[in-house]
A and B are shown apart, each in its own frame.
Chain A
């Protein structure tokens, strides 16, 4: 059983560009959350998708947007990239959105903005 998968593994972009990151949830999971982990810090919640809708959002600007597809996979899009967007982007999936439900994390996509 494949766990959470993310692509690409690494990505290098320049300021002002746009980027799309992809995530496939663990089999049987219908909820996908995205987190940003800056170097040396804990992950910060970006948003969560359930039933193809954004259910909850953290303190991130509108440059960060997402989408969930009918097969539950998800994309994270970041427009007008800034140097400060350089981070590890983690996708997590769960079965449902209950506050005790365990989230399973993917290996992440390392984004470097030059």
Chain B
């Protein structure tokens, strides 16, 4: 079945450091890929998405490129801030899973940024 694998956390960085959170996936079809962020005590917010190979999603300085050949969708940011501290989830939606937008999530990666 479909699945998403993320690098384990926590990831601890200093402010202004470069961030990479790895995400790889397994899917039957050609999925849409998403990064969601969850701040403490809150629900999930969509950070960015990509719907086909080589698409780059970007938002708030975060970027991720849909790499079909490596089945990856790694999240990057050039300079993190303390306010980026949160849990990040990689997810997919596979059109072959019944044709509906069910999301399959990775386990999440906790990011802690200190001043």
Residues of A participating in the B interface, judged by any CB pair closer than 8 Å = 4, 31, 33, 35, 40-45, 48, 50, 55-56, 58, 90, 92, 94, 96-108
Q: Which residues of B contact A (CB under 8 A)?
A: 4, 31-32, 36, 42-46, 49, 51, 89, 91, 93-95, 97-108
Best-buried of A55, A92, A96, A105 by chain B (most CB within 10 Å): A105
A48 to B45, CA, bound (A): 19
B99 engages A103 (CB within 8 Å): no
Residues of B within 8 A of A108 (CB): 43
Contact A106 B43 (CB under 8 A): yes
Chain A residues with CB below 8 A from B32, complex form: 99-100
Ranked nearest first, the 3 interchain pairs of A and B with the lowest CB-CB distance are A42-B105, A105-B43, A105-B44
Q: Is A42 in contact with B106, judged by CB distance below 8 angstroms? A: yes
Residues of A within 8 A of B105 (CB): 42-44
CB distance from A83 to the nearest CB of B (A): 21
**Chain A, residue nearest B91 (CB):** A42
Most A CB contacts (10 A, CB to CB) among B93, B101, B106 go to B101
Task: Determine whether the beta carbon of A99 is less than 8 Å from that of B43.
Answer: no
CB–CB B108/A100 < 8 A: no
- On chain A, the residues within 8 Å of B106 by CB distance are 42
Q: B101 touching A100 by the CB < 8 A rule?
A: yes
Query: In the complex, are the beta carbons of A99 and B31 less than 8 A apart?
Result: yes
User: How many Å from the CB of A53 to the closest CB on chain B?
Assistant: 12
Residues in B whose Cβ lies below 8 Å from that of A33: 101-103
The docked-state distance in angstroms from the alpha carbon of A108 to that of B101 is: 19
The complex places the Cα of A89 from the Cα of B95 at a distance, in Å, of 24
22 contacts between A and B (CB under 8 A): A33-B103, A40-B108, A42-B89, A42-B91, A42-B106, A42-B108, A43-B103, A43-B105, A58-B102, A90-B44, A92-B44, A92-B103, A97-B99, A97-B100, A99-B31, A99-B93, A99-B94, A100-B93, A100-B101, A102-B49, A104-B46, A105-B36
